[in-house]
């Protein structure tokens, strides 16, 4: 069993986006120091960590310096080079392990792994050429989603093909890619809802599962998450049970988010698994006994996990692109901060890009319906024209 790392020690985190910054907030509150490594000098975690490194991940000097200052390591993004993780893991405890990362950081390997464990996923095929795509359409039909096997987030690197004539687009896309790029073609699932479940498993043999969250995406980007999800108790139980099975199959130690599709006929399919805290779990900061970030600290340091309890229903709304200015203007501040149960989180990113996650607002209320109304009113406000942006565009 991993020895416990006492407060006062330094935890290393690979990746320094908003997830890393929220992790750092939790770690520092618990008495730990944090060293972040993210090649982007503007990454939000650099502003809040005790030590920061911003060279490329391939830099071997930084690798040595990083490992010297940290006593355990975690990550906030699955696309950290697995070779770096393997090297670090030989020297310090790394949660999650590089073997888990290797499976999850490639969409094809991930889906192949899940189906080899008899865990339900949408039908899929490997695609590297137009011929393979044509073969895939014969088996999977239209519409069909094609995703790059590696990288990609918030729907980036994904294409929807609705009809045979769309296939010519793929030829053009293929021509813009380096050779050897792999794709996964997936059957388009006409889901009734998207759900997600956070599972945390420790090296001490404990496992906790958070309540099922219901998510709504717009153009592949998470728009809103609500908890509890509007599913029956037996469906919620089935979603938790499936998620627990998936993380156990990986022998995962860490915090994981299992994204699910619920189909018309009541089946649950695994869309993907993230080996880290997740945007749909941000509500845990304001509405749970222990947040997803605190659990990440606990599991990384070999501490006992925290008991998971939902303290309040909640709806979380993402602030995408310049919507953030609606909260930062004087009027917007006044309205949002005076809404009962509203909790504002801004990530401090300097540059706005369309669809970029700039912050989120969580609405808690004694009944989920009240939180839903507050979130809906807030989203209407986001659509109004805002005052001048303080950001670079
Ligand atoms: P994120 O980083 O936000 O989790 P991502 O870029 O990793 O997203 P996915 O989760 O695979 O990508 O896809 C984003 C969204 O696109 C899904 O949440 C879902 O709404 C839609 N989507 C993806 N795959 C399918 C599918 N096979 N059928 C129907 N919709 C899909
Ligand atoms: Mg996803």
Helices vs strands, H then E, count in the chain: 13, 18
Q: What is the mean pLDDT of residues 120-134?
A: 93
> In this structure, how many other beta carbons lie within 10 angstroms of the beta carbon of residue 44?
23
Whole-number Å distance between alpha carbons of 206 and 288: 18
Closest of 141, 178, 147 to residue 160, by C-alpha: 147
Per cent of the chain over pLDDT 70 is 98
Q: Which residues line ligand 1 (CB under 6 A)?
A: 122, 145, 147, 152-156, 186, 188-189, 194, 217, 220, 222, 259, 271-272
Domains of the chain and any CATH numbers: 10-95 (3.40.50.20), 123-187 (3.30.1490.20), 191-382 (3.30.470.20)
Gap from CA of 147 to ligand 1 centroid (Å): 9
Does residue 94 register a pLDDT over 80? yes
The confidence band for 388, taking pLDDT boundaries of 50, 70 and 90, is very low
Gap from CA of 117 to ligand 1 centroid (Å): 21
β partners of residue 382: none
**Ligand 1 atom showing the smallest separation from residue 188 Cα:** 28
Q: What is the strand order of the sheet 144-148 is part of?
A: 124-127, 183-187, 144-148, 158-161
Does residue 267 register a pLDDT over 50? yes
**Ligand 1 atom showing the smallest separation from residue 122 Cα:** 27
Q: Whose CA is nearest to atom 27 of ligand 1?
A: 188
Per cent of the chain over pLDDT 90 is 83
pLDDT tens, residue by residue, 157-181: 888 999 988 888 887 877 777 777 8
Does residue 349 register a pLDDT over 70? yes
**Ligand 1 atom showing the smallest separation from residue 147 Cα:** 11
Residue 145 tokens, joined? 């989603």
Q: What is the mean pLDDT of residues 14-24?
A: 98
Whole-number Å distance between alpha carbons of 1 and 366: 40
Torsion of CA 102, 34, 200, 98, to 10 degrees: 10
pLDDT for residue 385: 63
pLDDT for residue 392: 43
Gap from CA of 155 to ligand 1 centroid (Å): 6
Q: Are residues 61 and 40 in contact, defined by beta-carbon separation less than 8 angstroms?
A: no
pLDDT for residue 172: 80
Does residue 390 register a pLDDT over 70? no
pTM: 0.95
Torsion of CA 221, 223, 228, 234, to 10 degrees: -40
């Amino acid at each position: 069993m991993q020895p416990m790392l006492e407060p006062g020690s330094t935890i290393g985190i690979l990746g320094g986006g908003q997830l890393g910054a929220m992790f750092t907030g939790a770690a520092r509150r618990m008495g730990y120091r944090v060293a972040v490594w993210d090649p982007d000098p503007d990454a939000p975690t650099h502003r809040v960590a005790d030590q920061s490194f911003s060279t490329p991940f391939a830099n071997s000097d930084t690798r040595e310096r990083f490992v010297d200052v940290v006593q355990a390591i975690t990550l906030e993004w699955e696309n950290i080079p697995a070779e770096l993780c393997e090297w670090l893991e030989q020297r310090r405890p790394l949660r999650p392990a590089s073997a888990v990362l290797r499976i999850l950081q490639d969409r094809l390997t991930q889906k192949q792994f899940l189906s080899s464990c008899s865990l339900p996923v949408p039908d899929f095929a490997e695609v590297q050429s137009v011929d393979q795509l044509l073969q895939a359409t014969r088996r999977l039909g239209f519409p069909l989603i094609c995703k790059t096997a590696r990288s990609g987030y918030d729907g980036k690197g994904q294409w929807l093909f609705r009809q045979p004539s769309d296939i010519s687009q793929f030829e053009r896309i293929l021509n813009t890619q380096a050779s050897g790029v792999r794709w996964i073609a997936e059957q388009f699932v006409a889901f009734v809802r998207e759900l997600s479940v956070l599972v945390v498993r420790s090296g001490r043999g404990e496992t906790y599962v958070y309540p099922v969250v219901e998510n709504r995406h717009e153009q592949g980007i998470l728009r809103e998450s609500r908890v509890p999800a509007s599913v029956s108790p037996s469906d919620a139980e089935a979603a938790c049970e499936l998620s627990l099975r998936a993380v156990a199959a990986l022998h995962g130690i860490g915090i994981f988010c299992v994204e699910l599709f619920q189909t018309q006929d009541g089946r649950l399919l695994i869309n993907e698994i993230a080996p880290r805290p997740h945007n749909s779990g941000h509500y845990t900061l304001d509405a749970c006994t222990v947040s997803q970030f605190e659990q990440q600290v606990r599991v990384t340091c070999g501490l006992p996990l925290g008991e998971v309890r939902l303290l309040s229903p909640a709806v979380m709304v993402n602030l995408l692109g310049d919507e953030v200015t609606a909260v930062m203007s004087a009027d917007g501040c006044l309205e949002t901060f005076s809404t009962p149960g509203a909790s504002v989180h801004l990530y401090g990113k300097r540059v706005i890009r369309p669809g970029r996650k700039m912050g989120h607002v969580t609405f808690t209320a004694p009944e989920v319906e009240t939180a839903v109304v507050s979130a809906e009113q807030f989203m209407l406000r986001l659509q109004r024209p805002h005052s001048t942006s303080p950001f670079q565009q």
